[in-house]
Amino acid sequence: MVNRKAWELGSSRSVIRELFAYGQQQRQALGDDAVCDFSLGNPATPPPKGVLEALTRLTQSEDPTALHGYTAAEGAAATREAVARSLNARFSAGVTRGDVFMTAGAAPALTAVFAALTVSPDTEFLALAPYFPEYAVFTGIKGARMRVVPSAADFSLDPAALDACLTPAVQAVILKSPNNPSGMVYTEENLRQVAEVLTRRSREWGHPIYIVCDEPYRELVYDGKAVPYVPGIYPNTVVCYSYSKCLSLPGDRIGYVLVPPTCEEHGDLLAAVAGAARAIGHVCAPATYQVLVRECADEAPDLAFYDENRRLLYGALSEMGYELVYLAGAFYLLCRAPEGDGDAFSARAREQNLLVVSGAGFGAPAYVRIAYCVSRETVLRSLPIFRRLMEEER
């Protein structure tokens, strides 16, 4: 016999991964140019020059034991020091290396934090729509329940809707800025409104309600916008971060949990995160990429690559008659399906090997998500298909 829940998760991929796997099969059968794949947030631009140079230098000169051996479970001291130093320089964060726990990317960071905060079978987490679908899996590993808070019409945070969804069983609210799938960068004013609601309810119910801030796109912002440092607005914020997107290292899996000293139960929460990570098989984050982070914690992504794709797609699709959400972060466009049904439009597009993900799993069922972190050639090849789909709908 096997665990039924594990079997269910293992027997079916997420919608995003399912579409990506279909695209791989089609490319093998028909050739790369036959598929326009906007399914997965898989950067097509190489890592920044400084990252590639550092990786080459390290593999040629670093002591192999330091580069490939075990580190402490929480991560190498020098790496955590570099992360803390970078955060302090950028955000005046007031953190130390003791507040940082290195992980193999954001997914295990989130899973460990949710497990650490699950205190009973009644524990609840709130996801702010639109949201990353895997949150439902990550929060449920210890039996907690995730509920969804609707966004405002413009995809900003709706404090009144959040307040209406809060109960004493809620341990944390999951926030992603820049947002996947919308690209929304929440403003400081909007975040302060949320912080006021959570502060009031935490006092009323006698326990902290945390924000778990999922930030793999923090550096991917355009139009002169900036991403507010959420722990500076709401002290009970835990940050889960990944270098996958900003450094174009999605397959190399390196990130961290930050539990700032402003958090209530700071020491206990850090220990619980470490214990939860241990329970799901964490030994240490990949040592080679810990050393790389030590060297490259302040490297910046190639924003021009993404922004040119964003502008090209937005301009061309708008001219065709598509209604798009044009926001300032990440590398996604939300496109309203012409028929108002993201599932149906994604299926029609798939028939022509144009792969866009239905927004239904993100809490935006009338939309599809277009991941524009692809080559310029893919964008250009996709435009006649988008036009054909719109003409068919008309």
Residues 247 and 303 sit within 8 Å (Cβ to Cβ): no
If pLDDT is split at 50, 70 and 90, which confidence band does 392 have?
confident
| Res 310 pLDDT > 90 | yes
| Contact (Cβ atoms closer than 8 angstroms) between residue 370 and residue 38 | yes
The model's pLDDT over 277-301, given as tens digits with 9 standing for 90+, comes to 999 999 999 999 999 999 999 999 9
| Averaged pLDDT for residues 188-214 | 98
Burial 99-108, CB ≥16 within 10 A → b, else e: bbbbbbbbbb
Amino acid at 217: Y
The string of pLDDT tens digits covering residues 133-187 is 999 999 998 899 999 999 998 999 999 999 999 999 999 999 999 999 999 999 9
Residue 101: which pLDDT band, with cuts at 50, 70 and 90?
very high
Average pLDDT over residues 317-325: 94
Residue type, position 309, single letter: N
Average pLDDT over residues 203-228: 96
User: Residue 62 above 80 pLDDT?
Assistant: no
More reliable by pLDDT, 62 or 19: 19
Q: What number is the average pLDDT over the span 240-258?
A: 96
362 secondary structure, DSSP code: G
Question: What pLDDT is recorded for position 332?
Answer: 95
pLDDT digits (tens, 9 = 90+) for 326-366: 888 999 999 999 989 999 999 999 999 999 999 999 999 99
Q: What's the whole-number average pLDDT of the chain?
A: 93
Position 18 pLDDT exceeds 90: no
Secondary structure E strands in the chain: 36-37, 100-103, 124-128, 145-149, 170-176, 210-214, 237-242, 255-258, 323-325, 332-336, 354-355, 357-358, 367-371
**Mean pLDDT highest for which of 2-6, 17-21, 227-231?**
227-231
pLDDT of amino acid 327: 82
pLDDT at 33 over 90: no
Res. 381: pLDDT tops 80: yes
Amino acid, single-letter form, for residue 240 = C
The pLDDT > 70 percentage for the chain reads 100
User: What's residue 21's pLDDT?
Assistant: 81
- pLDDT above 90 (res 12): no
